[in-house]
Amino acid sequence: MVDIWQNAMDHAVTIARRAGEVVREALHEDRKVMTKSSSVDLVTQTDQKVEQLIIQSVKEKFPTHRFIGEESVAAGEVCELTDSPTWIIDPIDGTTNFVHTFPFVAVSIGFSVNKQSEFGVVYSCLEDKMFTARRGRGAFCNDQPLSVSDQEDIKQSVIATEFGSSRDPEAVNNIFTSLRNIVSLPIHGVRGAGSAAINLCLVASGCVEAYYEIGIHVWDIAAGSLIVTEAGGILLDVEGGPVDLMSRRILAANNTTIADRLIREIQSFSPPRDDAPLLPQ
């Protein structure tokens, strides 16, 4: 079978590496830090520069393809996933980390056709780790195959989550309620890399059993979510039921046993939606 997206994937890897060099060079330079939706929603000129670099370079090679890019959406472009071949770009996933030189910063490039992920590339540029996945062909880090943890016991697990950039008191309260429930199961620990894409790659690598977050966007998870499923993991909505990458919520886990246990704790603060059936108990 002709592999029609291999060229696009190769280009994504090349451009992610080039973008990572720009991020590394900018890390210790003076940065003008701006804010977007709130005082903790940061953006720098490097975020904008890297997104333009990726989009321009892809446009030259694939002029008919569409884009969803975080900073383009922030500048007023529509965030709409259609059936067309679409590059879903987070130029710097972990901008707060970048601003504080906390060493987990990724360039994330997802690619979807007919609303189905075809490949995902996450370059953790300060660690120099290139995570890649092609639909049906496995997930890799620096060309080594990845697989999720085989842990089935939540009490033996480490769970990743994030506080995101909302400081709305109710949202913050919900985050702490779910965390308190989960930690007191008890579990081994809670982690958060400060980058949704890297958290997903940590699930794919078997370093954490699961990652969940409410408030993320499609560009945070488009690439990493395929890396999780290609490493043998699962994706669900945080209240159970199928994940919708546009819904701003995700639960990625190594298996349904761990996911099911987490969903029960997360549900205790958030009533299930009518259209989100629970996993079978």
Catalytically active residues, by annotation: 70, 90, 92-93, 95, 220
Q: Which helix (H) or strand (E) holds 203?
A: helix 196-204
Closest separation in Å from C-beta 190 to Ca ion: 20
Between 93 and 230, whose beta carbon lies closer to ligand IPD? 93
Q: Report the C-alpha gap between 162 and 168 in whole angstroms.
A: 15
- Asked whether the beta carbons of 121 and 130 are under 8 A apart, the reply is yes
- Cβ neighbors of 180 (< 8 A, separation 6 or more) are none
- Asked whether the beta carbons of 180 and 266 are under 8 A apart, the reply is no
Closest separation in Å from C-beta 3 to ligand IPD: 30
Any known ligand binding at 168? Answer: no
Encode burial over 169-189: b for 16+ CB neighbours within 10 A, e otherwise.
Answer: eeeeebbeebbebbeeeebbe
Q: Report the C-alpha gap between 88 and 233 in whole angstroms.
A: 21
Residue among 95, 112, 117, 151 that touches ligand IPD (CB under 6 A): 95
The 8-class DSSP code of residue 44 comes to E
Question: How many residues touch ligand IPD (CB under 6 A)?
Answer: 16
Site map (CB under 5 A) of Ca ion, residues 220-239, x = contact = x-------------------
Q: Report the C-alpha gap between 35 and 267 in whole angstroms.
A: 32
Closest separation in Å from C-beta 205 to ligand IPD: 17
Strand partners, 111: 87, 119
Residue 162 binds to Ca ion (criterion: CB under 5 A) = no
Strand partners, 203: none
Stretch binding ligand IPD (CB under 6 A), from 141-149, 193-201, 204-212, 256-264 = 193-201
Q: Report the C-alpha gap between 52 and 178 in whole angstroms.
A: 38
Between 92 and 238, whose beta carbon lies closer to Ca ion? 92
Given Ca ion, ligand IPD, none, residue 151, with its beta carbon under 5 to 8 Å by kind, binds: none
Residue 215 binds to ligand IPD (criterion: CB under 6 A) = yes
Provide the 10 A C-beta neighbour count for residue 271.
8
Residue 70 binds to Ca ion (criterion: CB under 5 A) = yes
Residue 93 binds to Ca ion (criterion: CB under 5 A) = yes
Between 5 and 31, whose beta carbon lies closer to ligand IPD? 31
Residue among 220, 230, 237, 265 that touches ligand IPD (CB under 6 A): 220
Stretch binding ligand IPD (CB under 6 A), from 91-99, 138-146, 203-211, 250-258 = 91-99
Residue 162 binds to ligand IPD (criterion: CB under 6 A) = yes
Q: Report the C-alpha gap between 60 and 214 in whole angstroms.
A: 35
Closest separation in Å from C-beta 95 to ligand IPD: 4
CA distances from 222 to 120, 243, 267 (A): 7, 12, 24
Between 95 and 132, whose beta carbon lies closer to Ca ion? 95
Cis peptide before 169 (omega within 30 of 0): no
Annotated binding site for Mg(2+): 70, 90, 92-93, 220
Residues engaged in binding ligand IPD (CB under 6 A): 70, 90, 92-95, 162, 164-165, 194-196, 213, 215-216, 220
